[in-house]
Amino acid sequence: MNLKGFKKLGASAVLFLAVAAVGSAQLNTTEQTLNTTVYFDYAHYLNNDGYLTSAKAKSSAFAFRRAYLTYERKLSDYLRFRFRYDADNAANITSINFANGTTSSDAKLRPYVKHICLQWNQDWLQSQVNIGMIETMSFKLTEDRWGYRSVAKTFADGYSDLTGQSIDQTSADLGVSWKGTLAKELRFGLGVFSGNGYTRPENDQYKKFAGYLQLVPLSGVSLFTYADIETQVEGKKAVTYKIDAFINLIKNANLVFEWLQYDNETRTFKSGGWSAYATYMVNPGKLGAFLRYDRYQPDSNDSLKNVDLIIAGLDWFAWGSFCRIQPNVWIRSYKDSLKKTDVIGVATFFMSF
């Protein structure tokens, strides 16, 4: 997108906010909402000889990792609309010099559309149908149970960020999904998506088909099984299998286990791994704690690419639930002995209102 395009996008955002503001004065707050969420970090390297931390020029840094604005509107008893703006620091091309073919870019926070969708609810099977640019189903439930998206993405969500190996998972995509309840103990979800994610338009005729079953045998225990399949090129498919186990039998405590495997027939290897974490509210509404361990296995043919990650921290409700400070430590170790362990301390500021 060029500079002119950004100006148009900015103007659209202003117009959207103006309309939302006018509407909020006319409608009951139960009929529409406008929410903001921001994740802001200060990170500091706690060692200086690790695979990443040896880059002393970046030994400490401030960063906005996420900032988004969500507008939701109740259109009827059964229909809702959602519009979400997101922002990131990806470098954007701002100009092109046609004389020598060079480009200029910057890394300003750029707004982009994350969700534009309709949600239709029906009593039959407690159905919920979403259509448009919608949330996918592969890790949303896990993210809710993890509860610390402000600190880190879930295992599946952040897989390619940490390993550099894509497993074709994204938090939003163009498509349609249907979720419902077959029985008190059994829930389901089915979806058809473009497979390209929300950042790119669909560029082929293939679709990603996804589904899950969630078994809740007793209160505080659930098992979530997920799978998706997509043709990547003619005659070759990519398949994802995922299992999550959730245990909440101790008051204010969550235990979660997540396992994933990705098999793409265009490759000669599989990617996968597992994650386990525990969260505990030491003093509900005031102080929480979390501990997580991930084992990444991006190449089944090369164990030297394996990465282990430990995340531990506290969740201090400094100014209530809408403004929290979450000091945490990341320890990344590598199977490859030539890559030394990284230890990074992070102060995360989480705002949501």
Q: What is the pLDDT of residue 200?
A: 80
* E-only strand ranges, 89-185: 92-97, 102-106, 110-122, 127-135, 172-183
- Of all helices (H) and strands (E), which one includes residue 63? strand 60-74
**Exposed/middle/buried for 305, CB within 10 Å: 0-12, 13-18, 19+?**
buried
Average pLDDT estimate for 237-247: 97
Q: What is the pLDDT of residue 206?
A: 92
Average pLDDT estimate for 207-226: 96
Q: Residue 348: CB partners within 8 Å, gap ≥ 6?
A: 39, 40, 41, 150, 151, 313, 325, 326, 327, 328
Give the pLDDT confidence of 156-199 residue by residue, as tens digits.
999 999 999 999 999 999 999 999 999 999 999 999 999 988 88
- The whole-angstrom separation of Cα 230 and Cα 239 is 7
Q: What is the pLDDT of residue 266?
A: 94
Average pLDDT estimate for 229-242: 94
Give the pLDDT confidence of 254-286 residue by residue, as tens digits.
999 999 999 999 999 999 999 999 999 999 999
Q: For residues 189, 36, 82 and 224, what is the CA-based torsion angle, rounded to 10 degrees? A: 0
State how far the alpha carbon of 226 is from the alpha carbons of 8, 28, 216, 240, in Å: 40, 38, 15, 8
Q: What is the pLDDT of residue 15?
A: 44
Mean pLDDT of the chain: 88
- The whole-angstrom separation of Cα 74 and Cα 80 is 5
Give the pLDDT confidence of 330-342 residue by residue, as tens digits.
999 999 999 999 9
Q: What is the pLDDT of residue 338?
A: 95
- Of all helices (H) and strands (E), which one includes residue 257? strand 253-264
14, amino acid identity? V
Residue 20 confidence (pLDDT) above 60: no
In this structure, of 210-214, 231-235, 238-242, 340-344, the range with the lowest mean pLDDT score is: 231-235
Structure tokens at 353: 């209102």
Average pLDDT estimate for 84-105: 62
Q: How confident is the model at residue 25 (pLDDT cuts 50, 70, 90)?
A: very low
Q: How confident is the model at residue 201 (pLDDT cuts 50, 70, 90)?
A: confident
Confirm whether pTM is higher than 0.75. yes
* E-only strand ranges, 268-306: 270-283, 287-297
Domain extents for the chain? 33-352
Among candidates 177, 175, 170, which has minimal Cα distance to 212?
177
One CATH from 2.40.160.10, 3.20.20.70, 3.50.50.60, 3.40.50.720 for 33-352: 2.40.160.10
